[in-house]
Amino acid sequence: MLDTGALIAFERGDRQVAAVVEAVRRRKDRIVTSSGCVAQAWRDGSRQALLARLLAGTTEHPLQPADSRAVGELCAVSRTSDVVDAHLALVVHDQDSVVTSDPDDLRVLLRARKSPARTIRC
């Protein structure tokens, strides 16, 4: 699972994030993100070729109407306000790892939903 910071880091050529992406691809696992993360990272497709290629092979979870309420509830329970991070925390599976530039914020959200998913700082 890649958050906005991970998408931006990949686009900028971050070797750590690139290595994680490559390892996931070699295992034939899915690379996942949320539409909110894509919206935060995407600015100009003509200048973001690396990101565009990454997203072409990425599962992108949209924010569905039913998710909106769950995101708001998770923000309330965790006493946070970042709806993009909260949506990402909702769609992550327990066995997943979240590559993130803000692991502390994500851990708060994951704990609030009692998810054992781990975070990896990028």
The confidence score (pLDDT) of residue 61 equals 97
41-66 pLDDT, tens per residue?
999 999 999 999 999 999 999 999 99
Going by their DSSP bridges, the two strands 118-121 and 97-100 should be labelled as parallel
Domain count, the chain: 1
Q: How confident is the model at residue 16 (pLDDT cuts 50, 70, 90)?
A: very high
What is the mean predicted confidence (pLDDT) over 22-33?
Answer: 96
> How many Cα neighbours within 13 Å face the side chain of 81?
0
The boundaries of the domain holding residue 55 are: 4-121
> How many Cα neighbours within 13 Å face the side chain of 54?
30
Q: Do 91 and 2 meet the contact criterion of CB atoms below 8 Å apart?
A: no
The confidence score (pLDDT) of residue 42 equals 98
The DSSP symbol for 101 reads: S
Give the integer Cα–Cα distance in Å for 112 and 60: 23
60-108 pLDDT, tens per residue?
999 999 999 999 999 999 999 999 999 999 999 999 999 999 999 999 9
CATH number of the domain where residue 100 is located: 3.40.50.1010
The confidence score (pLDDT) of residue 36 equals 97
Residue 108: CB partners within 8 Å, gap ≥ 6? 78, 80
What is the mean predicted confidence (pLDDT) over 26-30?
Answer: 95
Tell me what percent of the residues of the chain surpass a pLDDT of 90. Answer: 98
The confidence score (pLDDT) of residue 87 equals 98
The confidence score (pLDDT) of residue 40 equals 97
